[in-house]
Amino acid sequence: MRRIVRIASWLYALAVYGFIFLPVIVLVLFSLQATSFPIPPFTGPSLRWYDAVLSDPRLTSALVNSLLVASISSLAAVTLGFLSAWGFARFVLPGSGLLRGLITLPLTVSYLIIGMGLLVLFNWAGVPKSLLAAGIGHVVINLPLCFAIIYSQMGDHQINIERAARDLGAPEWKVLLLITVPVMAPAIFAGFFLSMTFSWDEFVISFLLTRFDTTLPVEIWNLLRSGLNPKTNAVGSLVFAVSIVLVVFFELTLLRRKPA
Amino acid sequence: MSSAGNNPLPRAGHTLPRASSALPWALVTPALGWTLLFFVLPFIAMGFSSLTAHEGGGFTLSNYSQFFTNPSYWQAMVNSLEVTAIVTVVSVLLAYPFAWILAEQVPERWQRLALMLAVLPFWTSYVVRSYSWLLVLAQNGVVNRALTGSGLISEPVHLANTRFATITGFVHFFVMLLTLTIFANLKQLSPSYRKAAADLGAGPVRTFLHVVLPLTLPGIMVGAFLTFVLCIGDYITPQILGGNNELLMPQLVMMQIGRRGDFPLASALSIILMAVVTIAYLACARWLKIERA
């Protein structure tokens, strides 16, 4: 009986792993295709489509745009999130529960609706479509996340260290910069990292709020109009590689440091 | 500067400094202001917009009444609900045994790696993920080649641009998400529950049905709700994989903007979609609260 469960478990797990990895393997394999269609039979390996991606100015500038929007909007989101988390965790504010609820509210609304709302507002206020507009949208989706992560990590332990610093005469800004920020560094970094990956991958808000200069997911979307193309495989594989490097880096630096 | 530091506090965390200075407000105002300006205000703008006609003129409810009277709009909501329900059920049914195997059958020291591998494709860009499924399911793609090659079928099957393709793309993503949440749930379960059930004479099947499953149900509900919300609001997966054969709500919303620039109707449809999600939230709130405690 136990043996049957074990064999069935292995088979099932293998099948699910196969299902999970099938599209990724097909994507990466046919990015190395030598001919113009990313369908069997495999004719590679060849790096010509990676060449095509790296020499396409639209894709490379979209890549730079994506990195810029992701890093700047994440920096803004984590700064706003950290300051408000500190304010709510350290001081008694009237209506605190309600206000915290307001900050985390965007987490419950889909990106499409957040993007639609901003589109209607900006259209009405005469704000042109731009990377800045998309960046503003990315702060809206990432701020609640940063706030929730940092707020949940602010415990009694940190309050005591801060109090010690104040008792020794440190002004409030020194407590913030020399005590709170270093102590909260793991949570701040986690918020920043998650915001980076969400912004890097975000499509619908960027699609609605940018026009000519746009982010990588939107540019990839534009590529899709030309049908199946190994160039799309190549750029997709590159994006995947960047994400994997980020995730592994995150695993190694942040999660391993925790005392078990 | 602040009197906060001078307050004698008996125990940390139980008495916080009173907000006697401007400092706390200076800390929370930027985040609150941002949320009000770029989340609440857009929502109000969308609400107003939904009550105007595309052609101009005064207030009207026609955008909302259109939804209820135009069968094709109504159908998009029905499609969305059907697809979301199927995706949620299939994803839970696939992910639960998988998470269970990872948590129970895989040796402890390999679990971290096994889980990391299981969610690795989670990190591909989601536009790319849908495109990859298109490659797999295409008329002369890998699946069709394998099926015709092995002689199971003689003609390639029409898989891409169907509801089946949309569901496959969604299930792929949500199996990974649910495996994560259910795995975490199973690991939190204290082994003493299972030992107690075994001591009282329950076999593995009974222990699972009467102890493990009920205790992990709240976690499943949270994951299922998350699946519902993310699935019903997604535009990319149905647009790339389903094509335009049958529309889901997000596609209908985007169509109003893209083809006709009809912001009022798009606003009204967005608000209706959000109302449906809110109703689902209220229906699940009982189970969702358990996690917050």
Confidence tier at A110 by pLDDT (50, 70, 90): confident
Is A48 inside a domain boundary? no
Instruction: Give me the residue from A5, A40, A84 closest to B145, CB to CB.
Output: A40
How much is the mean pLDDT over chain A?
86
Domain that includes residue A165, residue range: 59-255
User: Helix H segments across A153-213?
Assistant: 156-167, 172-174, 181-183, 185-201, 204-209
CB pair distance less than 8 Å for A113 and B25:
no
The domain ranges of chain B are 91-249+277-292
pLDDT of residue B3: 40
The three-class DSSP label of residue B275 is: helix
Q: Which of B105, B127, B228 to mutate to test the interface with A (most CBs of A within 10 A)?
A: B127
A&B contacts, CB < 8 Å: 261
Contact status of A92 with chain B (Cβ, < 8 Å): yes
Interface list for B 100-129 with A (CB within 8 A): 101-102, 105-106, 116-118, 120-121, 123-129
What confidence score (pLDDT) does residue A144 get?
93
Judge: A106–B27 Cβ closer than 8 Å, yes or no. Answer: no
Say yes or no to pLDDT of A71 above 90: yes
- Which residues 143-202 in chain B show a CB within 8 A of chain A? 145, 172, 175-176
Residue among A213, A186, A233 nearest A26 (CA): A233
Of A30, A81, A109, the CB nearest to B135: A30
- Please answer yes or no on whether B34 and A139 come within 8 Å at the CB atom: yes
Task: Assign domain B91-249+277-292 one CATH number from 1.20.210.10, 1.10.1060.10, 1.10.3720.10, 3.40.50.720.
Answer: 1.10.3720.10
CATH number for the domain spanning A84: value is 1.10.3720.10
- Count: domains in chain A: 1
* pLDDT single digits (tens) B162-203: 899 999 999 999 999 899 888 888 888 877 887 888 888 877
Our CA angle for A241, A247, A248, nearest 5°, is: 90
Query: Look-up: residue for tokens 């493990």?
Result: B212
pLDDT tens across B252-267, in order? 999 988 877 888 999 9
**Residue whose tokens read 């997604």:** B234
Q: Which residues pair with B52 in a beta bridge?
A: B59
Cα separation of B189 and B93, whole Å? 20
Q: What tokens does A69 get?
A: 């929007």
Cβ neighbours, 10 Å, residue B195: 11
Across the interface, whether the CB atoms of B138 and A228 are under 8 A apart is answered: yes
Nearest-CA distance from B289 to chain A in Å?
15
Q: Is the pLDDT of residue B293 over 60?
A: no
Contact B31 A84 (CB under 8 A): yes
Q: Is the pLDDT of residue B151 over 80?
A: no
Would residue A147 count as lying in a domain? yes
Which H or E element spans position B274? helix B263-292
**Lowest-pLDDT choice from A85-94, B32-41, B141-150, B164-173:** B141-150
Asked if residue A174 belongs to a domain, the reply is yes
In a domain, A199, yes or no: yes
